[in-house]
A and B are shown apart, each in its own frame.
Chain A
């Protein structure tokens, strides 16, 4: 039997969570006061977990590297959050959300976890409304919904293009209530440097105060990691500049298995890169695909003329445009899942039809939507629906009310008016479905150490559907972890406070100080960013949207080489005992340089195409699905969980076989 025990409860799928909750040990309120829990990260998962645990009575110590918990990168999520409320009466249900998520994830997620996620989704919306989250409403005063990629119902709740911000501020306000009561001790501008284990259990962390540089010991009866994803291993991504893998990687090195590191989401609608000094990529919400039509020129000469600035998008008549998603996937059209849309864009650009100076961009065009909305508005208001200028004016106003802030952001970055000219978009690294392996209780393979939100390997399988990340983060933090952690903490009521004088703390602290001293004194010749950029290029070129064995083997060797050079030649100025952003980056890039190699190794092992992981060796040939991804359920229907053994190349693979009892495995067709 595998060393991995998923601890999925017995019984029919729809009863598993309810039965499990009924059987979880409950800690009495007086005892909760004797128990400390550390939560690292204050995004949707960490913030909601910290607030809920504190509210239940535990003493919470929360940490974030930003200057306020409100700034965690969940804040940048734009489009929305899914919930099976069926307010639109379009046949939505818990089962349908469950089904869509498992199918969208290309049958590489754990069925029971996904069902639980769908089950609690409706509570999230109730909870957030009660907290004063200002979701969009219709004229009847009820909550509005929109559609997202990969589904045929309208179940996405939103707050203009700032849903993540509003949900995070909701969690932040719940945290503030507990901070005010003294139940959460908040540590801003602190970075977790290592996990401390005592007798095999997670008992605390070593943290660095980023302002003073002080290395601190913090103890607890359980440690929760909710530190997000590792997309920045690609250097350029839609993640925040500070987003990193370090907390997850440190616990991996202390025994937590790392699952499916190769599952990365390349998001189809981002602003294309413009130059070499670019430091990050900006997402344009997938919600835009509700109203935007994606196309490239149908004739290569037109694409070349556009790239050379001799023609404009609006010069091309309808018949010379190739709406390739609508052409290839008539059933889902522009609303195919993200992995499908991204690969289709890359295919057209690789074939020479890209539309900006780099040749890496496709159009996202709102002209048709402006016409459609404009005519409706004119009709409602009894105005002339044939008046072209009026229709455009009215339609533009509707688009502005729906996506105004996104259009403004686009214009500020590109200096082009997207109400007049179609947007240019290209795929970019956005989200990582892989992460720390957890069981049904969200516990990692280190006893007492939990992982929540994007940091765990999650319910999204090999591909995440739009508006599901916010759902999972809040489900984990508000409604799953606060219950499941009780089972473990119930055994800790007699433990008493964990002293930070234990030798395990001293040892971990010494190792952290040693690494910091190394960086400060290394006195090399190249900047941290130099190495990060090189790593990112290898990742994007050889471990990006489509992969093959040759490229992956090369990537593994090249990453190892960059890592060696990094330790020999990196230069970090400043001191260890002050605010030092270069030092912070050095520690994070050191971890990316190890993760990157494991990432490529995992991608090499998985010789199938599934979800965001596309292997060129595994493609459908002939028939209706010609050229589409070919999944291999016989050989690869497992979670790949890697055990740390020193070098990334020595990592040992453990497989958790995935069973599907409630869903039939099918080809994921969006045709």
Chain B
């Protein structure tokens, strides 16, 4: 395949960026999108051009490190995949592909296509845990049976990989899908239920403080989420949050 790539280049967080155009040829449709960028980067090095910086690591769609806004969509045109699992067969020979970083007030650009998502860590640090020591001297793992349905729903929420596609996609730059996934996972399990009120208040508070926008229920985040995290989680978190704000002693 022969393609034209339009890629956002930005030297560092303070520099003003711009789109650069690079033609690329002989790409196999079975290559992954990031392998295509690897090929580009090797060719740039040989030409003496500084290669394009982009985040990636596991290349199995699970670490959440890769990002990219491809032709106006987070993780590109395929559904339920991260950019590293996107394959070139989704494009046509001769296509022009625009590649930008995830853009949001909460995710400042570090360089080229790399953004700073440390705000997600800060939200998790505000309460995304069960307050239990790691002594191993807890009760037996089977002491509290958990209905399969609850366990499965908690698991589905827990599959969030923290990539930030939801934020990049949202016109408000809201992190509600991300935050609600963690809040839901714990509030669905008896181990996490105990602190549910406090957790919802603290995590939502931190999210607001870090400059993420509000949710206006457009549902765009759910469409672009590579792990299919459901909007139901947002509803569940809103109910937890409301309850905590009104009747809880934690407010």
Contacts and interface: CB of A to CB of B under 8 A. Distances in A.
Interface string B113-143: 0101110110011111111111111111110
A113 interface: no
A529 B42 contact: yes
A573 B64 contact: no
A580 B192 CA distance: 41
Contacts of B28: 274-275, 277
Contacts of B151: 134-137, 141
Interface stretch (A162-170, A307-315, A628-636, A645-653): A162-170
15 contacts: A70-B124, A129-B191, A132-B129, A135-B151, A137-B151, A162-B62, A166-B158, A172-B124, A279-B32, A282-B59, A409-B61, A412-B61, A413-B32, A578-B12, A579-B110
Nearest to A405: B159
Contact of B45 (A169, A174, A482, A571): A571
Contacts of A142: 142, 145
- Considering the complex of A and B, which 7 residue pairs feature the smallest CB-CB distances, nearest first? A141-B145, A123-B136, A173-B129, A130-B138, A134-B155, A129-B141, A134-B154
Contact of A130 (B78, B111, B185, B191): B191
Interface string A270-289: 00001101111011000000
Interface of B: 11-12, 27-28, 30-32, 34-36, 38-39, 41-42, 44-46, 48-51, 53, 55-65, 78, 80-81, 85, 87, 89, 110-111, 114, 116-118, 120-121, 124-142, 145-148, 151-152, 154-155, 158-159, 161-162, 185-186, 189, 191-192
A280 B56 CA distance: 12
Given A76-B63, A527-B42, A131 B130 contact: yes
Nearest to B190: A132
Nearest to B57: A240
Contacts, number: 225
B130 A241 contact: no
Contacts of A479: 136
A124 B135 CA distance: 10
B35 A278 contact: yes
Given A67-B55, A162-B159, A573-B50, A130 B130 contact: yes
Contacts of A73: 57-58, 63
B114 A579 contact: yes
A78 to B, nearest CB: 9
Given A51-B134, A126-B141, 16 more contacts: A71-B57, A76-B58, A130-B132, A131-B129, A137-B152, A176-B124, A240-B59, A275-B28, A277-B28, A279-B59, A412-B61, A479-B136, A527-B46, A573-B44, A573-B48, A582-B41
Contacts of B114: 579
A581 interface: yes
Given A134-B158, A165-B161, A415 B87 contact: yes
B148 A582 contact: no
Interface residues of A, number: 86
A177 interface: yes
Interface string A233-275: 0000010111000000000000000000000000000000011
B60 A415 contact: no
B45 A527 contact: yes
Given A127-B134, A180-B126, A165 B89 contact: no
Nearest to A275: B28
Contacts of B45: 527, 571, 573, 582
A574 interface: yes
Given A240-B63, A277-B38, A126 B140 contact: yes
Nearest to A160: B155
Contact of A127 (B27, B136, B146): B136
Interface of A: 48, 51-52, 55, 66-73, 75-76, 85, 87, 120, 123-132, 134-143, 159-160, 162, 165-166, 169, 172-174, 176-177, 179-180, 186, 188, 211, 238, 240-242, 274-275, 277-280, 282-283, 405, 408-409, 412-413, 415, 478-479, 482, 525, 527, 529-530, 571, 573-574, 578-582
Contacts of A280: 59
Contacts of B121: 68-70, 176, 179, 186, 188
A240 B87 contact: no
B31 A277 contact: yes
Contact of B191 (A131, A141, A166, A573): A131
A173 B128 contact: yes
A70 B126 CA distance: 15
B162 A279 contact: no
Nearest to B46: A527
B35 A277 contact: yes
Contacts of A127: 132, 134-136, 138
Contacts of A55: 133-134
Contacts of A527: 42, 45-46
Contact of A124 (B48, B136, B161): B136
A291 B28 CA distance: 33
Contacts of A277: 27-28, 31, 35-36, 38-39
A241 B65 CA distance: 11
B185 A132 contact: yes
A413 B90 CA distance: 11
Nearest to A186: B121
A132 B148 contact: no
B111 A165 contact: no
A25 B135 CA distance: 17
Given A240-B57, A240-B58, A413-B85, A67 B117 contact: yes
B85 A409 contact: yes
A241 B141 contact: no
A176 B128 contact: yes
A159 B158 CA distance: 10
Contact of A581 (B46, B53, B139, B189): B53
Nearest to A65: B57
Nearest to B30: A274
B51 A581 contact: yes
Contacts of B46: 525, 527, 571
Nearest to A412: B85
A138 B162 CA distance: 28
A52 B135 CA distance: 8
Contacts of B141: 85, 125-126, 128-129, 135, 143
A529 B38 contact: yes
A141 B148 contact: yes
A644 to B, nearest CB: 29
Contacts of B192: 132
Given A120-B136, A127-B134, A479-B136, A282 B60 contact: yes
A529 B46 CA distance: 12
Nearest to B45: A527
A76 B60 contact: yes
B129 A137 contact: no
A70 B158 CA distance: 13
A125 B44 CA distance: 49
A412 B185 contact: no
A200 to B, nearest CB: 31
A75 B82 CA distance: 15
B78 A134 contact: no
B111 A578 contact: yes
Given A142-B145, A169-B158, A279-B35, A177 B56 contact: no
Nearest to A415: B89
Contacts of A159: 155, 158
Given A141-B145, A240-B57, A71 B136 contact: no
B81 to A, nearest CB: 6
Nearest to B65: A71
B50 A176 contact: no
B81 A412 contact: yes
